[in-house]
Amino acid sequence: MSLLEVSDLAKRFGGVVAVDSCSLTVAVDSITGLIGPNGSGKTTLFDLVTGFLQPDAGRVTFQSTAITGLPPDRVHRLGIGRTFQLARVFPRLTVLENLLVPVHRRGLAALLPGAGSEARHARAMLEFLGLAELAGEPAGRLSYGQRKLLELGAVMMSRPRLVLLDEPAGGVNPGLLERIAASIRELNAQGVTFLIVEHNMGFVMDLCDAVVVMDRGRPIASGSPAQVRANPAVLNAYLGA
Amino acid sequence: MRIAAGVLGAAALLLPVLSPDPSFLNIGVFTLMYVGLATAWNISGGYTGYVSLGHAGFFGLGAYTLGLMLGHLRVPGGYAPFLVVPVVGLVTAALALPVGWIALRTRAATFVIVTIAFMFMLQILATNLRPVTGGSQGLGFPVPQGWSPAFVDVPFYYAMLALALLALAISWALRRSQIGLGLLAIRDDEDRALAHGVPTWALKIGAFAVSAGLVGMIGGVYGYYVTYVYPQFVIDPLIGISMVLMAFLGGAGTIAGPVLGALLLEPAQLELAYFAGSARLYLVLYAAVFLAVMLLLPRGIIPSLAARIESWQAAARRA
Amino acid sequence: MSGLVVGAAMLGVLTGGVYALMASGLTLIFGVMRIINVGHGALVVLGAYLSFALLRGLHIDPFLGLAVTMPAMFAIGLVLELLFIRPLRTDREALSVLVTYALALGIEGVLGYLFSSDFQQLRVWYQTASFAVGGFGVAYVYVFGFLLSIAVLAALGALLYATTFGASIRATMLNRSAAQLIGIDVERVSAITFGIGMATAAVGGVVFGITNAFNPGSHYDLISRLLTIIVLGGLGSLKGAIVAAVLMLVIEDVTAVVVSPTWAAFTFFALLVLILITRPQGLYGLRAREGT
């Protein structure tokens, strides 16, 4: 069963076609990798799914509901979280406050100070990420790797069903990389589905149970990591043939 | 911090009793006015990082709204006009909604300029709509009967104090709430806030309207205090820039920063004006203070102090 | 009536050329340095006073005097940039607005000290001598100012598009850190750009000073127009600044004869608002996601 379904999605910037009649599905409870050469439209696809860009054509369906063209905050509230390519945090908020921003509260409840259960949840998340010591520090003082972890934690705070990660392994040292992979596996075991854009092939092949390859704005291959690796079209795309 | 706030609050409440000297109270009225203005500005400009230089427009809008309502409803001078002030707040906030709806589509520098353009539009409207506003002739307010010269400052002092406390209470409650966190997230990285489900558009416009409403109420009381307003005088770019400068001096985006900035700068401004004698020298000195603040303390006193204290504590821990 | 409208439109184009020059300096400074120079209006007024001093003291024609005032303003620009803009590190865009605002107030105060707040005007023979267009008198000064502005704009264009230094200015406008990476000294480029902006303000000051009575407080009116022009055109776009300046002045001058002069400026602000509703990035601005 698919959690996210993208059909015939297209986006043009002036004369450049970034995403072109792109269709793909993300299965429930999977960790799906999205790979492809630079400029193949992966980040644009993320922007289209999460509402940061409006598609020129096509449909996005999440849990059998059409979400095409909804604004980003609505998409988030339906249960899709995302991270950005370069680790972005709220630098002048504390590490703990960073985790409390994504908490949703409706109506007058939003006027109340941070309630105990959410703060507890946030502290537990910091323990899980190994950042508990830094709870009161401004997030701007974290190292790049720590920011990546914090970003992952912030995305998880609203308990999303689907998380889109844009290059979680980019610029991260091997030790931290292992911790990020372990966190993703553990969260996946708790029922979170992941769609991951990543250039680190070892990371993708190791972690993902399905892989989609994009080239020039559309998927050219998909399947298990082993199948994708054996597909000659993939090699051609990377070699620019 | 709490003790300091308590002492300051008690002193503010008792000042008219302890020192009933009108010239002293007059400084008090203007200082409290700027405490309120800088705090109100900070709710949108400081928390969200959308620096409005056009808030003088809402200040003038509030003054004109109160003056016109008092005139048309034939409210006599005395305590009654103060009761109309909350209505002025609602009217100004409501009028700020369409302004925010347009201005807040732009970001950063463009936003600053659009707010300046709106301020000048209001100034032109106030001048040109002569049948309504009296044009450049100005608009008079009812004069309180039976208040002695020694007493007349006291009600205005408490009115300004009440509005400053209201602005502070709102600022404080917001900062501690989920909404406040959303506003600060907008300041740090608006796109990322949106990705985290923060309803940025509603929060930005809401904060802008609340901020404008508070500034409008203060403008109303100011108009009643000075008894007479005209466009260039009450929609004065200098009023708009002063509240911003005070918020930045103390620390934009903090609760206490704008209060501290106003308490330091407004008495100094009044003293400076008195000392300089001429408007020209005053401008030069004002600009010098202004530049010194911006270049030496760009983050403001409170954040700079906090960083300093933290590094001492860190050093103490290491030792 | 239609003759008056044609004449007003023509006057609008001529004065629009001068505003285009002043706004170009401002938008160039934004493009290169990512700062809004709120002091630009005050610097135009300063330029007018420099010319006024030369005219009254040494009887030097304001247009000829530009040979002195343009380099002088360029030098003042270098100093101001070094002292007040370069030290800004964090939150540059917001803080620069406040700092340059303070500069404007300081300049206003100093000019008031030196020249008093009485209104002055640069008095020259071509100020009142005029020719008729459809029953509408157009003074020669507008033509001179327009031609000079076009010449300076053309020189600016040549500098930007035909010299190596111009290429480094354009590279810095596109991407400051990338420009730094390929070895461009962006600090130097910034300082010189600020100086160039000031030199154009000197030209603007001469035409402004001949066609308007001015005092040290005149900068508010100027800066509100110039800022509106560069936002309408799209921040950092030279083409946008030129188109928006001509558009603004034509609309203002036509409104002045068709409706009333008191509504002229308002019409333009209203146009800005209308355009921003549909195009928040202005006429020629790129819709970039601006981080903080």
**DSSP structure string for C79-123:** HHIIIIITT--TTHHHHHHHHHHHHHHHHHHHHHHHH-SS-B---
pLDDT tens profile A72-120: 999 998 999 998 888 889 998 999 999 999 887 666 666 666 556 788 8
Identify which of B114, B188, B290 has the shortest CB distance to residue C276. B114
Q: Which two tokens stand for residue B209?
A: 């309207």
Q: Which two tokens stand for residue C223?
A: 């800066």
Low-confidence ranges of chain C (pLDDT < 50): 288-292
pLDDT band at B297; cut points 50, 70, 90: confident
Whether the pLDDT of residue B242 is over 50: the answer is yes
Distance to chain C for B254, nearest Cα, Å: 16
Helices (H), ranges, chain C: 2-33, 40-58, 62-80, 92-115, 140-162, 164-174, 176-181, 186-211, 219-233, 238-258, 264-278
Which of A47, A73, A103, A163 would you mutate first to test chain B, the one with the most B CBs within 10 A?
Answer: A73
Q: Report chain B residues whose CB lies below 8 A from the CB of C228.
A: 113, 117
**Total CB pairs under 8 A between chain A and B:** 82
Q: Report chain B residues whose CB lies below 8 A from the CB of A155.
A: 196
In this prediction, residue A105 carries a pLDDT of 67
In this prediction, residue A240 carries a pLDDT of 61
Are the Cβ atoms of B195 and A76 closer than 8 angstroms?
yes
Are the Cβ atoms of A114 and B192 closer than 8 angstroms?
no
In this prediction, residue C275 carries a pLDDT of 86
Give the full edge-to-edge strand order of the sheet including A31-35: A80-82, A162-166, A193-197, A31-35, A210-215, A218-223
B127 and chain C in contact, CB less than 8 A: yes
The Cα-based distances of B178 to A132, B185, B213, B300 in angstroms read 21, 10, 21, 25
Q: Give the span between the Cα atoms of A148 and A151, in whole angstroms.
A: 5
In this prediction, residue A25 carries a pLDDT of 92
- Looking at chain B, which residue has its C-alpha nearest residue A157? B196
Q: Report chain B residues whose CB lies below 8 A from the CB of C235.
A: 109-110
Identify which of B103, B112, B288 has the shortest CB distance to residue C106. B288
Q: ipTM of the predicted structure?
A: 0.85
Helices (H), ranges, A20-59: 42-49
pLDDT tens profile A201-214: 889 999 999 999 99
What does R_g of chain B's alpha carbons equal in angstroms?
Answer: 20
B292 and chain C in contact, CB less than 8 A: no
Q: Which two tokens stand for residue C99?
A: 């700092």
In this prediction, residue B32 carries a pLDDT of 96
CA-wise closest residue to B123 among B222, B237, B245: B237
Whether the pLDDT of residue A241 is over 50: the answer is no
Q: Report chain B residues whose CB lies below 8 A from the CB of C112.
A: 279-280, 283
Distance to chain B for A203, nearest Cα, Å: 25
pLDDT tens profile A42-67: 999 999 999 999 999 999 999 989 99
Whether the pLDDT of residue B2 is over 50: the answer is yes
Distance to chain C for B143, nearest Cα, Å: 32
In this prediction, residue A112 carries a pLDDT of 65
pLDDT tens profile B174-185: 998 889 999 999
The Cα-based distances of C67 to A23, A212, B86, B99 in angstroms read 66, 66, 59, 45
In this prediction, residue A195 carries a pLDDT of 95
CA-wise closest residue to B213 among B87, B118, B93: B93
Q: Give the span between the Cα atoms of C113 and B281, in whole angstroms.
A: 7
Identify which of C87, C91, C224 has the shortest CB distance to residue B295. C87
In this prediction, residue A115 carries a pLDDT of 59
B190 and chain C in contact, CB less than 8 A: yes
**pTM confidence score:** 0.89
Whether the pLDDT of residue B298 is over 60: the answer is yes
Are the Cβ atoms of B287 and C94 closer than 8 angstroms?
no
Angle between helix C219-233 and C238-258 (nearest 10):
120
CA-wise closest residue to C140 among B316, C132, C154, C23: C132
pLDDT tens profile B109-146: 889 889 998 999 999 999 999 888 888 888 999 988 88
Average pLDDT over residues B82-107: 94
Question: C-contacting residues of B 8-37, CB under 8 Å?
Answer: none
Average pLDDT over residues B295-310: 82
- Looking at chain B, which residue has its C-alpha nearest residue A156? B196
Query: What is the sign, positive or negative, of the torsion defined by CA atoms of B176, B177, B179, B181?
Result: positive
The Cα-based distances of B46 to A226, A228, B37, B95, B168 in angstroms read 53, 51, 12, 21, 13
In this prediction, residue C289 carries a pLDDT of 37
Give burial (CB, 10 Å; 0-12/13-18/19+) of C118. exposed
In this prediction, residue B310 carries a pLDDT of 77
In this prediction, residue C290 carries a pLDDT of 34
pLDDT band at B103; cut points 50, 70, 90: very high
